[in-house]
Chain A
């Protein structure tokens, strides 16, 4: 492609990004010094916005010019290693994903952050969080990667704990930090195995030699645990719906929309780049985990009554979609079907990109609602479309996009994932042949349930009548928050109408990861996307959009000319018995009831209990629903019990005398030396 003269003047993207990261790091201390001032919030967010946009431009420039790989080694980090940074197509693609969401969150926060009561707990960590995510994406050695990763976890943990006096947040923070540590530990093992006995912690050294099959399989599993737990894959997802909603909303948007993508990046970097050639059953595992996450995520999203928690569970679903794409890509690559692998990989990364757009928009929207009404519980909301029309519009566009309604972007990437599934009869292995249709059905179910879930979330929150006085008195949010939400929502539409452009931009990343890329889409007739061949399947967002607009315009005109134009406002009809009490509307619980019933025994272990007062008694009847997460009971509860038991026992070590501590240290030293001496 030709580079415009303007781009040629820009600094090298990698150096520019690192400078911007350094600036973000410097914003942390600046925030500590200035957070008491009223102006500080706006200033920090504006500067963070500038830094994010700088990195965004750097990443986009790299992708656009199809630059060669840039590397840079700084004399930081471990003495013998240094800090390696590298900007290749994969990093650049994720820089775009990360910083697009980050920029949106920063603009939102310029307005939203003004009302934050605990500014000192948010402002210092926010830029550090952004910097850490960018460091992970650019790191080219295990040490910098893990430093960035851990920094990202800790900064986001601090942000989750912003309002730590609410007991629910404290619990969320605790579970989050435990799971994050577990994830980092898994990644540490993973890099240890990749480095091998030579200790080459540089990514280039890892790429150079591929580990033995057993080690490679362990690396994959560890990467799946480490990165997957951060991304929210089932069954390691339990922390996510607790932690993401607990943070301030712009941070929730970052955690759900962006940090999960950094985790996806970590998995891709390890599984597609560092390990070497994949084996077919890796794809099997990733597919299974992805499919399960998609269905479980959306089912639990469907029954939540807290708006932000609905969004958090739906993140698990979308990450499931992404990992199904990645699993298919691994399976295709192992079978030598590189064109199909490129399709599946592009679908995954495209969906990750789309999810970062609409999930950020939705979380920001929920933040605006929270700010206007003070409520996250959907049963205290309702009717906000009248009082917050612009927020309602942005949230509607986000909901339509996430429900995969054409011509929005969610449909384009889910369509592409399904196309990849349609290619999979070419796979040779029988277990894959049997599993892939099942995963396809899971994705179809998840997509359909997602639409149900967002009908419910939008309908209960924004439509109907207000269920509390706070919702009835809500005011539209400020200019900055609105512009952030609306621009993300409009981006969803633009990407959905012109999906070929984005897919072409991600082609170099696919080339790097699976050794092939999809045919260029930009030259296809009227910007259609054609994954394989036109006789097979094609989709044209632009035409669908144009068709929809044209037929709507024709309908409106026809109605205008031929039909009566008069309109009268009357009380609601409601079969003749309208009840003015707002609790007679369907609420969050009742909207979920049909789906909850259908999946009651199998997934939720739901127990419904109705306490009817005796005939003649005057107290109210009570209805109780009890829903349990089987995974929590089967997996987390025993582990939590074990951890509590062990820490209880270890508590003894806290009260030793200095003599005993010294002998303990001495004994462990001897033990370690012995182990070293006896090691073959």
Chain B
């Protein structure tokens, strides 16, 4: 497979696209949530303004923050960006998708979280520690669940490459499968947990003892905070794209397709994206946050469902 200009353009467009839509997604979810509770919420473009404002500000940093604290936002952002850019959004057959199959994408997101938790501990405040310790606990349950989901998909599609999986999912060979349904539920739970959404964590809270993600990034400001905020938006985009490309694969432009199909793919992506944003907002509005130590039950369910799905695939080809 030679590198063609078109492939590079598609990959480049994908990288730019996820970066551009990420704040939009966050803004849209906030706006819909506000609308649902009859609040006059900010415009859906508010996150762009927030980012621009953060970038203009002077950064402050704790006196005893180390170099790791300064480097971490860049590491977190770039790892998340790569991961998000490797999940097909509007076109399959991304030119670099063979460089990192789905397991590598999971590990890249894990790497971003590793540095985020370390950054939370760097200044040596109680809140940073509380956030980091809870984040790694949630991740320690969510990541194996995600790996089990990857196993299920890989066993069904015969590949861990997302482009191949997405193309396979559009063929009639998929059919209705119990294991896929289990994997979908598990993936939604994992996506909620990993993105610090309700009911695991409240993205809007600043109430000290309930924070997880916000507690870790408490010491960040200005450009560093902007990078971290953008990274967490990107992570949400990555998960939504993942759900969309595996479970709603319609319209994704196949590899080596023409410009017209790419345009259809882009249109379909916008539609799926909006549906997911509305669904997330409705779900978050209709549920209360769990106590931290109830969260393992919630995520543990995802792990068990994932394991069950894999087990079904091991014992039967048809399920």
Binding site for B on A (CB under 8 A): 382-383, 385-386, 389, 396, 400, 403-406, 411, 415, 418-419, 421-422, 424-425, 430, 433-434, 436-438, 440-441, 444-445, 447-449, 451-452, 454-456, 458-460, 463-465, 525-526, 528, 534-540, 543-544, 547-548, 551-552, 555-556, 559, 562-564, 566-575, 578-579, 582, 584-586, 590-595, 597-598
Contact = CB atoms under 8 A, between A and B. Distances in A.
A406 B108 contact: yes
Nearest to B123: A572
A456 B218 CA distance: 19
Contact of A451 (B110, B125, B127, B141): B110
B132 interface: yes
B241 interface: no
Task: State the main secondary structure of chain A at its contact with B.
Answer: helix
A190 to B, nearest CB: 33
Contact of B148 (A400, A441, A552): A441
A536 B159 contact: yes
Nearest to A452: B136
7 contacts: A422-B155, A459-B129, A534-B98, A535-B158, A540-B98, A559-B74, A594-B137
A548 B127 contact: no
A459 B96 contact: no
Contacts of A456: 133, 136
B66 to A, nearest CB: 5
Nearest to A396: B68
B111 interface: yes
B248 interface: no
Interface in B204-256: 208, 218-219, 222-223, 226-227
Given A456-B133, A552-B78, A595 B140 contact: yes
A385 B68 contact: yes
A31 B151 CA distance: 54
Contacts of A575: 127, 208, 218
B39 interface: no
A444 B159 contact: no
Contact of A437 (B1, B99, B159, B314): B314
A412 to B, nearest CB: 10
Contacts of A574: 123, 125-127, 218-219
B90 interface: no
B124 A415 contact: no
Contacts of A444: 143-144, 147-148
A582 B129 CA distance: 12
Contacts of A540: 98-100
Closest 5 CB pairs of A and B: A586-B129, A464-B124, A459-B121, A594-B137, A444-B144
A400 B72 CA distance: 13
Interface stretch (B55-63, B195-203, B270-278, B282-290): B55-63
Given A422-B155, A539-B100, A566-B59, A400 B226 contact: no
Contacts of B159: 535-537
Contacts of A454: 114
Contacts of A573: 62, 125, 218-219
Nearest to A542: B99
A441 B74 CA distance: 32
A543 B117 CA distance: 26
B154 to A, nearest CB: 5
Contact of B56 (A421, A452, A548, A564): A564
Nearest to A559: B223
Interface string B254-297: 00000000000000000000000000000000000000110010
A528 B314 contact: no
A404 B127 contact: no
A544 B60 contact: no
A569 B61 contact: yes
Contacts of A411: 104, 107
B62 A425 contact: no
Contact of B98 (A415, A528, A569): A528
A370 B86 CA distance: 42
Contacts of B14: none
A378 to B, nearest CB: 12
A537 B110 contact: no
Nearest to A399: B114
B15 to A, nearest CB: 8
Given A440-B310, A551-B78, A564-B222, A595 B100 contact: no
Contacts of B218: 573-575
A590 B74 CA distance: 28
Nearest to B116: A455
Contacts of A548: 78-79, 82
Contacts of A525: 1
Contacts of B130: 586
B103 interface: yes
Contact of A595 (B81, B128, B137): B137
A312 B208 CA distance: 35
A554 to B, nearest CB: 8
B14 to A, nearest CB: 13
Contact of B164 (A404, A528, A535, A594): A535
A586 B110 contact: no
Contacts of A536: 158-161
A389 B66 CA distance: 10
Contacts of B158: 535-536
Contacts of B77: 555
Contacts of A458: 118
B73 to A, nearest CB: 9
Name the residue among B101, B124, B137, B310 with the largest chain A CB count within 10 angstroms.
B124
A433 B208 contact: no
Given A385-B66, A537-B159, A425 B313 contact: yes
A320 to B, nearest CB: 15
Nearest to B64: A465
A4 B220 CA distance: 55
Contact of B143 (A447, A552, A564, A592): A447
Nearest to B120: A459
A539 B99 CA distance: 5
A441 B144 contact: yes
A444 B78 CA distance: 24
Contacts of B133: 456, 586, 590-594
A568 B57 CA distance: 11
A556 B74 contact: yes
Contacts of A389: 67
Name the residue among A460, A536, A537, A555 with the largest chain B CB count within 10 angstroms.
A537
B140 A448 contact: yes
Contact of A434 (B68, B74, B110, B311): B311
A444 B307 CA distance: 11
A556 B121 CA distance: 23
A594 B227 contact: no
B143 A538 contact: no
B177 interface: no
A259 to B, nearest CB: 29
A568 B224 CA distance: 13
Given A448-B141, A594-B133, A595-B140, 7 more contacts: A441-B307, A447-B143, A451-B114, A535-B164, A544-B99, A552-B75, A575-B127
Given A574-B218, A590-B133, A465 B98 contact: no
Contacts of B114: 400, 403, 405, 451, 454-455
A9 to B, nearest CB: 40
A570 B96 contact: no
Nearest to B58: A566
B95 to A, nearest CB: 11
A543 B96 CA distance: 9
